[in-house]
Each structure stands twice: as C-alpha cells, then as structure tokens.
Amino acid sequence: MTSKFLRSLLAVAVISMISAWAQTAGAAPTEPPNAPSASAPAPVATGTGTKIGTINIEQAVIGTNEGQRDFAALQKKLEPKQNELKSQNDELESLQKQLDTQGSKLNDDARAELVKQIQDKKKVLDRAVQDFQEDGQNQQKEVFQRILQKMAPVIVKHAQEGGYAMILDTSNAWPQSPVLWYDGNKSDITKAVIDIYNTQSGVPAPAAGGPAPKPAASRMTSPKPAAPKATMPQ
C-alpha cells in the first residue's frame, strides 16, 4: 500500500514506538538522571524469552479494521483531486498528440504557440502532481503512525506473553531488511496482533466485498512535449 519513500519515513517511527513501549514497560515513571535526550534514537528492545518472531508492520497496520476503514476514507478524500489531475493529464496528452500528428503542417508561429502551450501546461501539472503526492504521503503517514502508536503496546505485550526474545519487522524484503529467511507459519505474529488489536479497538470489520485500500496518492506522469523541429531557411 505504501510507497518505498513512505516506508523509509516510517521505519524510524516503527523502531522508536515499539522500543519505547518495551523499554518503559513496568518501569518507574521518573526519568533516570543520565537518560538520553528525546532526540537520541531508542535502542531496539529485546525480550527475556527464547523465541524469535516476525511481524509485517505494514500489513499489521493496514490489515486492522481501523486501518482498512481509515485508508479507504483517505483514498476517497483524495479522489476528486486525483480525477482533476487526470483530466489535466488527458488534456496535455491530447495537445501532445495534436503536435505529433499536425506539427509538420503548421506554420512556425502556430507550431511554436502549440509547443509553448504544452510546455506551460506540463509545468503546472508537474508541480500539481508533486504537491498531490507529497500531501497524500503525509496523510498516509499520519494515519499509519496514529494506528501504530496504539498497536505498539499490543505487539510488546503479545511478544512478552509468548516468550519471544526478539520480534523482527519483515515489511521490506532482504537486503532492505536484515531478515534473510523466515518460516512465517511458525514465527509470524502479524495475524495474531491484528486480531488482538481489532478486539481492543472495537472497530467493526469493513463490509464484505468492499474495495481494498489502495495507495492514496498514486504516481501520475505527464507526457514530455517534443522539441520544435528546426526549419531550413528558404
């Protein structure tokens, strides 16, 4: 669901949130004198058990009833702007096709005007698409982090009760992830965490047959206008 760019932004949040919950579980509310500053990265927490478990954080968040509901709502919210950009892109493609098919028949002034029109529209569209993607990614990140903030203690509690010494995130494949291989049938706790979270959140499951959440800000590209052909002096 999320783009690679968004995944990289969320990686630090995942480690910080879960590590913070694990480090502070059962600890006294007072901060030790030599505690690290808030800006210092939190160490990755390990449990006292013996098992190694895995979880796909991305699937866990998006797979919850709350995640499906909120990402679908975000997708619907961004649809009007996405459709507007698609219309602009279609218009630009139409002008580009006109230049490709009729450009050689136009006089120099008419052709230059058409090329300029394409270039101006492309510049406006490129900027609008970039703003749309950044806004969509930021809103996706806000939804993801809000749910993850509530899911972190669920993961830690389940891992502690299950006798796990460590939980590894498998959202990214190796070599982007340190996990080279794992047996998901024996080690993965993603579904268990989703089920526990759904029970605690009280958010009902989405209606059967409803559309699955998709990336809110899909990538859209606009055609590049052809450079004007040089004309030979008569």
**Single-letter residue type at 91:** E
Distances (CA, A) of 191 to 63, 145, 197: 8, 19, 10
pLDDT tens track, the chain, 234 positions: 445 545 544 554 554 555 555 555 544 444 443 444 444 444 455 556 689 999 999 999 999 999 999 999 999 999 999 999 999 999 999 999 999 999 888 999 999 999 999 999 999 999 999 999 999 999 999 999 999 999 999 999 999 999 999 999 999 888 877 888 888 778 999 999 999 999 999 999 998 765 555 544 444 444 444 444 433 333
Nearest alpha-carbon partner for 86 in 226, 219, 211: 219
User: Would you state the pLDDT for residue 219?
Assistant: 45
User: Would you state the pLDDT for residue 208?
Assistant: 75
Total residues belonging to the chain: 234
User: Would you state the pLDDT for residue 39?
Assistant: 46
Residue entry with tokens 């783009």: 3
Q: What's the distance, Cα to Cα, between the start and end of the chain in Å?
A: 58
User: Would you state the pLDDT for residue 23?
Assistant: 52
Distances (CA, A) of 81 to 73, 109, 137, 142: 14, 34, 14, 19
User: Would you state the pLDDT for residue 182?
Assistant: 82
Sequence-distant contacts of 46-49: CB under 8 A, at least 24 apart: 46/165, 46/166, 47/22, 47/159, 47/160, 47/163, 47/164, 47/165, 47/166, 48/160, 48/165, 49/159, 49/160, 49/162, 49/163, 49/164, 49/165
Domain ranges of the chain: 4-24+46-201
Query: What is the Cα Rg of the chain in Å?
Result: 25
Q: What is d(CA 17, CA 93) in angstroms, rounded to the nearest whole number?
A: 45
In sequence order, what are the beta bridge partners of 168? Answer: 54
Q: What is d(CA 171, CA 196) in angstroms, rounded to the nearest whole number?
A: 19
